Structure formats: C-alpha cells, structure tokens
Structure 1
C-alpha cells in the first residue's frame, strides 16, 4: 500500500463503530487548541488596516461527525468575539472549506448544516438585538456577526488545494500524523521485511526503518508547508495539532504503543493460524508521531513560516470513555484504522481482532494510565 489517498478514511455514518461516535480523544485535542485559535484570529484581524469584508478559512483533515462543525463554531465565535473586542465590524462573509480525502463521509457534515446555520442566524439576531439596545452610543459599531458559507474540498493536503493567496487561516487537528504513503525501503536487498511482527515503530524496530519513517514525515510536512504558504495571504496563520512523542528517539514513550498492542493482537491470531504471518510482516502503518525537534527542523528548512507559539499536553487514552475502557478504546482505534486494516487483511478478521485488542488494552489499563502526547503549534506566514 504505497499511497493512502484511495484507502484511508474514518468510519462513516453514526453507528456503534463510526468515527462520529468514537472520536472523544480528537475532540479533546480540538478543544485544547481554543486559546491558540483565538489568538491567531485576533492577530489576523488586528493586522489588517481596514475592515475585512470576507475571510477564507480551511479545516484540513476535517473527517466527519460533530467534531467537524465544532471547529467551525469555535472559529466563528472567536471572530465575532474579537471583532466586538476591537470595536470592528465582523467580516461580512466567512468561507469555510472542509477538506479531507476523497472517501471521507462529507454527507455526514452536510446533514448537520441546517442546524448549524440556524444556530449562526440566532447568534446574529441576538447580536443585532444587543446593538439596537445600545443605539444611544453613536460610536457603537453594528457588529451582527458573519454570514457563513461551507463547502467541501476533497483531496490530499500534501499538495495544492486552493488558489494562490486565497486563505486567511488554516486549521488542522490530529491529521498530519497520517503520512501520504508508507515509507520506501522497508525491505532489505533480499526483499525480506525489516519490521517483522510489527505494524509501526517499536523498540525492536531496526534503525533503518525508523530513519525511513522520519524521512517520509519530513518530506510530507515540507510539501504541506510549501503548499500552504502559496495559498495563504501574506500574514496568514495556521494552527496545527499533532499526536507526538517526547524525543528524537522514534520509539520514545507516547508515540505508538497503541499500534504495538494491535500488533500483539494480530500475532495471537497468527499463532492460531487465523492470519498469515507474512500479512503482518508486510503491513506498515502510514502514520508517524513526530517530536518537536523534527517539526522545528522542517519548518526552518522550508522557510515559509515562523513559529508563533508551541505547547504540549497529555490526553488520556480513555478520554470520554465512561465504562468498559478496553472496548471503548478499541472502538476508537477501529473507527480510525479500520479502512487500512480491512484493505490489507480483509474484513473477516476485524471483529475477532478488535475483541482481542480490547482485552489487551484492558490489561494495559490495569497496569498504568496510558496517555497520548499532543503538540499544538501556531505558525505565521
């Protein structure tokens, strides 16, 4: 599987194993960036000499379900609140572009738009009422909120998506952890697999494989930055979040132990003759949990952006999971990874696989309180 464009997607719909119903960790990541988004929006609005009539805003890797519209709602709130604080009129038009790969469940987003637009209209009416009540102040600016237009832009963000200098603000949460493809050179000269029994980087992974993953991430992220620099207006900003790790060691804590447990579940099926060992050996996840040093190195080398702010925070594996934590976390991982696993192993093993995975996760929870490490980075062109 050299490219993920045709394969990777979060589980569709709103069923038990859908992404919409199993994305509490991603929701926590989005909510943790609220202050950074507000600050970036304020800087954009303050940097303009006159009122901004319209803004282009893109959410890259939006997926589907409630998280997608949560991002838009928070950005609209930040724009209206900042405009009121500055006593400036809010931009009249906000153009939101929802981007993800071609197989994304955009229909799930569109089905929720009527209620979203109703909420926006109510907020505008409330703002208008407040302004009318204060009309005795001659200097009061009529700030009723913006009109929002939402559209889908399918395609990979590892390349151009928008016209030159058409976007004011880019947002991306947890999506840049996915690579554009599985790294090259994961076999030796005899065509033997170099990461046997594993799905991703682990402590036993050869250095050669680790270096291949790191190089693929650097290539992808550099391409991402170059593309966005052409699409952003001068002074435009981005707020990006990554699932990361502590240090330059690719096998450092936080980075990918949930993949290690998934590999263990598969290897128990290999031992029982339910899955071919070669199938496990030939699967390598198009995923990479980077560290800050790598991010900084690529940003400086590409040269289009400067870092405005950076912060790290931990998120519990069981964020938002009330009970049956092993099963709940297994559903969360299945909602995100199932398309890749089904493509490679077939759909017939998935129920058994994730049943075993839930048991391994439960055992892991009994010994420790596992966490993800997330990075939030704000960039200015």
Structure 2
C-alpha cells in the first residue's frame, strides 16, 4: 500500500547542500519503485526542521535547483514536491499525530537539549574527559537518556504505524564514556583554551564554567534507550568510521579537482569544521575577541596531533520501524 502523499521529515537540516542529500535519495528510490509497480508518482511533503536560529532562507533559495537536478537525474517527471521549514527543537512535539512516513536525522542527536546539571566541578575541561569526576560522566549520560527517550516518544506519536526512522549520531565504540575516541577533539580545544589561561588571555573561571552540551553514545546505550522507550523495532544498528579530515575520504579524482593551498593542511580543515560547530557557543561565553586566537592555537595543536596518530570520528547509525499499536480482540 502506498500513500498518496509521502511525508518526509529531515531533523537538524542545517542550511547547506547536505540538507537535500537524503531527501533526494528517498525520492529517487520511491520513484523507481512506482515505475516498477506501474504506480502513479506520489506527492512529496518535505519538512525541514532545525532550531529557530537556522538560516532557512538559504534552504528555500536552493529548492528550485534541487528539483531541477532531481528531475535530470530521474530523466522523467517526478511527483510534486512541497517544502516547509519547521523551526523548533526536536526534543518536543513538532508535527501532528501520525502524519510522517519517514524521519531522518544525521549529526544532530548527539547535541543535548542543555548542558547537564551538576557539572560545576568539571574543572579545566569543556566536555567529558579522563580527568572528569565520575559525577560529571554520570550527569552527561543521564541527560542523554532523558533527551533521546523524549525524542523517540515524540517521533513515535508523529509517525504512522510502520513508518521508518534512520538516525546517525557521532558516538563511540567503547563503553567508557570518557574514551579518547569520542572526547579527544574537545580535549584538544580545551588545551588551547587552557594555554590561553596560563598566558592570562582568558580567566580560569571562564573555562571552569564552560561545558559543551554534547554526548557521544555507544551502540549499546542507543539500543537500550530504544528498547526502554518501546515504540520502535530496531532493523539495523551499525558503527562506522569517518576521518577527522574529510578530504582523507576522497578518491584521487576528487583530490585533483579540489586541490588548493589548504587541501593538505589537515589541522586547518578540521579546525574550520569545528569552528562552524563551536564558534557560536564560544562567542556567547567568552566573547568575540578571543576567537581568532583560539582557532589559530587549535589548528596548530591539531596539526601536531594528526601528524602523529590516526584520528577518526565514530558514527552510530540506527534504522527503526514504528510498531503497530496493540489492540484488544
């Protein structure tokens, strides 16, 4: 059975070209299936969600070129696509009951709804680390449990029975919450900030009161929350690696076409990526004056680190199906 209109929600869409990648893939697959089944093309209701401060205008300006590119790839007319911006936190209800068929989120759910409470003694750190007290590690995990469980509950109410959800989080393989594979890049940023404390550029108490609202779950932690919430069946749960420096994943042809002065500067590439993520938080806490200095030092630290060891992010991806409601006979 196919719906007349397929509703797709992209949660944490941001504002760049990546916002359309999964939507494009879904529409391609569904259109091919419709042709194989001699079924009329569906209509597509695409709901782009992010926090209210996101630049939705950039997404809306790209819709026309997205539709043209998709039509050219399909080499045939596709069903009508309707796009909507949904500015809201996904740690709460944002869509009507049972109106979604597919939910996707990538590189968003490791962000917590807030900094955990009770982490005031995380001195010299900006995230969990091997020097963080046990209560800090516990507080971060408990905040993740609350947030992820709420996310699952809300999406279960918004998805139709049998609807799908695919989520990718930056996580870790290890069961140790302060594992280097998930905390290292924040520890290196903390080193840059602490060096600036030693030189009197920023105050020690400013670092001691700054913590990142972020959590890298292990596969077992993700699995446990899904089972405890109870609304979804797990189809697949996989872990894969991504190089810190995205260019390291490129093939030789891509390398030649994109070669530039900064291409081989791994520290620069990773620092710029992290700057896009962390700068708003750093500005809000420390002010704008230190930003260039922070990321200059961070780049140097990254270059030194990446010249000596292999550095990778660990991604956890889970595919879920919304269970059918239990009915009494």
Superposition TM-score, scaled by structure 2 size: 0.91
CA distance in 2, matches of 1:320, 1:57: 30
Of 42, 45, 63, 1:92 maps to 42
Displacement after TM superposition at 1:88 (Å): 4.3
CA distance in 2, matches of 1:359, 1:253: 19
Aligned-partner SS, 2:101? strand
Partner in structure 2 of residue 377 of structure 1 = 318
Is 1:276 the counterpart of 2:203? The answer is: yes
Aligned-partner SS, 1:175? coil
Partner in structure 1 of residue 285 of structure 2 = 344
CA distance in 2, matches of 1:90, 1:292: 40
Displacement after TM superposition at 1:91 (Å): 4.3
| Corresponding residue pairs, total | 308
Superposed CA deviations along residues 244-274 of structure 1, whole A, max 9, x for unmatched, are 1112210123212100000000001001100
Query: Does the 8 Å contact 1:195/1:205 carry over to 2?
Result: yes
Partner in structure 2 of residue 329 of structure 1 = 270
Alignment of 1:120-139 (within 5 A): 120-123=70-73, 126-127=75-76
Displacement after TM superposition at 1:69 (Å): 1.7
Partner in structure 2 of residue 115 of structure 1 = 65
Aligned-partner SS, 1:380? strand
Aligned-partner SS, 2:181? coil
Of 28, 36, 40, 1:77 maps to 28
CA distance in 2, matches of 1:83, 1:280: 56
Alignment of 1:134-145 (within 5 A): 144-145=77-78
Q: CA RMSD in A?
A: 1.3
CA distance in 1, matches of 2:29, 2:310: 34
Superposed CA deviations along residues 169-207 of structure 1, whole A, max 9, x for unmatched, are 000001001000000112xxxxxx311000001111111
Partner in structure 1 of residue 89 of structure 2 = 156
Partner in structure 2 of residue 31 of structure 1 = none
CA distance in 2, matches of 1:344, 1:234: 43
CA distance in 2, matches of 1:251, 1:181: 19
CA distance in 2, matches of 1:283, 1:90: 54
CA distance in 1, matches of 2:154, 2:199: 47
Displacement after TM superposition at 1:123 (Å): 5.0
Displacement after TM superposition at 1:120 (Å): 3.4
Partner in structure 2 of residue 30 of structure 1 = none
Structure 2 segments unaligned to the other structure (5+ residues):
249-262, 323-329
Superposition TM-score, scaled by structure 1 size: 0.79
Aligned-partner SS, 2:165? strand
Is 1:259 the counterpart of 2:186? The answer is: yes
Aligned-partner SS, 2:177? coil
Query: Does the 8 Å contact 1:240/1:376 carry over to 2?
Result: yes
Partner in structure 2 of residue 170 of structure 1 = 103
Q: Alpha carbons of 1:90 and 1:207: their partners in 2 closer, same or farther (altered >3 Å)?
A: farther
Is 1:227 the counterpart of 2:154? The answer is: yes
Structure 1 segments unaligned to the other structure (5+ residues):
1-47, 128-143, 187-192
CA distance in 1, matches of 2:40, 2:195: 58
Partner in structure 1 of residue 309 of structure 2 = 368
CA distance in 1, matches of 2:40, 2:22: 18
Q: Alpha carbons of 1:238 and 1:267: their partners in 2 closer, same or farther (altered >3 Å)?
A: same
Query: Does the 8 Å contact 1:57/1:167 carry over to 2?
Result: yes
Aligned-partner SS, 1:247? coil
Superposed CA deviations along residues 208-249 of structure 1, whole A, max 9, x for unmatched, are 000000000000000000000000001001000010111221
Query: Does the 8 Å contact 2:170/2:315 carry over to 1?
Result: yes
CA distance in 1, matches of 2:73, 2:215: 40
Partner in structure 2 of residue 183 of structure 1 = 116
